[in-house]
Amino acid sequence: MLPLVRSGNVVFEINLGAIQANFQAITALVGLGVKVAGVVKSDAYGLGLVDVARALIHAGCDLLFVANLDEALLLRSSHVDGAIAVFCDDFAKFGQLYRSNNLIPVVNNCAELGAISATGTQPYFLNVETGFSRFGLAIADVRRAYFSGTFDRYPPSVVLSHLACSERVADPTNVLQRNRFRAVYDLMKPTWGSLAASAGVWLGKSYHFDMVRVGSALYGLHDAGIRPNPLQPVVRLRAKILDVRNVARREAVGYGATFRTVRASRVAIVGIGYKHGLPCACANKISARVAAYSAPLIGTMCMENMMIDITDIPEALCGPGNFVELLGNDFTVDDLAAAVGVNPNEVLTRLGAGCTRRYLNSSLLSTRHRAYPMQWTATTRSE
């Protein structure tokens, strides 16, 4: 069998040190008494589950949230220690895997609560539906379980919910959900209550409770839009110029002739396309950086290539083999998402899935990560 040869046309750099710095910035923002949990679901938003988890643990994060059991088991098999909570997977079916791998299920409905109660000893987190209509026990079901004594016998370690509109500071849904969550929190008096995720951190202290669950903010995405932005950019995306073409005036560039030159032009074909996760909507809307110059993306995005206008850029800077920058400190994932009208989380996860990742500051990680003691035994908060 012939060996796999990687072309090296695309370089997607992930700065683990910036992720750690963002964790520390959010920890400082919420202050003493509020825990910051790291959300590494969906392969750490496309940036690599294991490497990102190790970076966060090394920075002092002692609780990670993953999407499902597959992600949790990958962390355990990679010798990533610490507390791991699973947002959504069937405890009734896979309870033994949770127990044998020291994993914490998030209980999302009455059936799961019944399965947890039957074990008698399994630590769990309770998700309460307060206005998102996705997962979580209805408040009426929580009250019913509370007054029947279920939580006296089998109390959750953490009670949590999720805000629907946290990126919009003035949206009344935020206050409604906070008040609903507060009613459950005051009723159950858990040691740990958690309502806010990344954007919710900037809604203020009344939304922090005892824990915030941070995902996108760790990866440099700033949904809340607070200025100046306290978060560091985490990713840099570069791609190689494969060829340069001279294109006459009024000629079409790309599928559908969505762009026609207005002058005799030099056009570079760059080795990145929607296969790598770039939104097709980028075409004719954003620019690449070539040294200190800007090169507009022109024509329709291709599967593995795109075209940029380099007419005004010195030829020595943009010949075949040179790299152009698409994302970096000066033009971030948030900037790209705003320019083309897409969700920045979607951009990040698609790029992570479509590009070969390269890690910066990987020397910050130890070869094996110390185990944090499980601090999630269920207790009741005192008045």
Active-site option among 41, 45, 98, 185? 41
User: Residue 140: its pLDDT value, please?
Assistant: 96
Joined together, the tokens standing for residue 65 give 């949230």
User: Residue 379: its pLDDT value, please?
Assistant: 55
Joined together, the tokens standing for residue 80 give 């990533």
User: Residue 369: its pLDDT value, please?
Assistant: 44
Residue 227 has pLDDT above 80, yes or no: no
User: Residue 378: its pLDDT value, please?
Assistant: 56
Q: How does pLDDT run across 229-250, given as a tens digit for each residue?
A: 889 999 999 999 999 999 999 9
* Minimum mean pLDDT range among 94-98, 177-181, 236-240: 94-98
Q: What is the pTM of this model?
A: 0.91
Q: Decide: helix, strand or coil at residue 160.
A: strand
User: Residue 225: its pLDDT value, please?
Assistant: 77
Architecture of the CATH domain 16-219: Alpha-Beta Barrel (3.20)
Average pLDDT rounded to a whole number, residues 61-90:
94
DSSP 8-state secondary structure symbol assigned to residue 380: B
SS (HEC) of 250-291: CCEECHHHCEECCCCEEEEEECCCHHHCCCHHHCCCCEEEEC
Name the pLDDT band for 205 (thresholds 50, 70, 90). Answer: very high
Residue 61 has pLDDT above 90, yes or no: yes
d(Cα 375, Cα 83) in Å, to the nearest integer? Answer: 8
Residue 89 has pLDDT above 90, yes or no: no
Task: Please tell me which residue, 367 or 291, carries the higher pLDDT value.
Answer: 291
List the chain domain ranges: 16-219, 235-331
Joined together, the tokens standing for residue 369 give 């990560």
Residue 127 has pLDDT above 90, yes or no: yes
Q: How does pLDDT run across 100-116, given as a tens digit for each residue?
A: 999 999 999 999 999 98
**Rounded to the nearest 10 degrees, what angle do helices 16-30 and 49-58 cross at?**
50
User: Residue 377: its pLDDT value, please?
Assistant: 57
Task: Please tell me which residue, 224 or 131, carries the higher pLDDT value.
Answer: 131
CATH annotation of 235-331: 2.40.37.10
Joined together, the tokens standing for residue 32 give 């003493």
Task: Please tell me which residue, 6 or 271, carries the higher pLDDT value.
Answer: 271
CB-CB contact of 59 with 17 (8 Å): no
Name the pLDDT band for 86 (thresholds 50, 70, 90). Answer: very high
What is the radius of gyration, based on Cα positions, of the chain?
24
Task: Please tell me which residue, 221 or 363, carries the higher pLDDT value.
Answer: 221
d(Cα 311, Cα 246) in Å, to the nearest integer? Answer: 9
Asked if 255 is an active-site residue, the reply is: yes
Asked if 124 is an active-site residue, the reply is: no
CB-CB contact of 199 with 224 (8 Å): yes
Cβ contacts of residue 345 below 8 Å, gap of 6+? 45, 216, 221
User: Residue 8: its pLDDT value, please?
Assistant: 87
Q: Decide: helix, strand or coil at residue 175.
A: helix
Determine phi and psi for 29, rounding to 5 degrees.
Answer: -65, -45
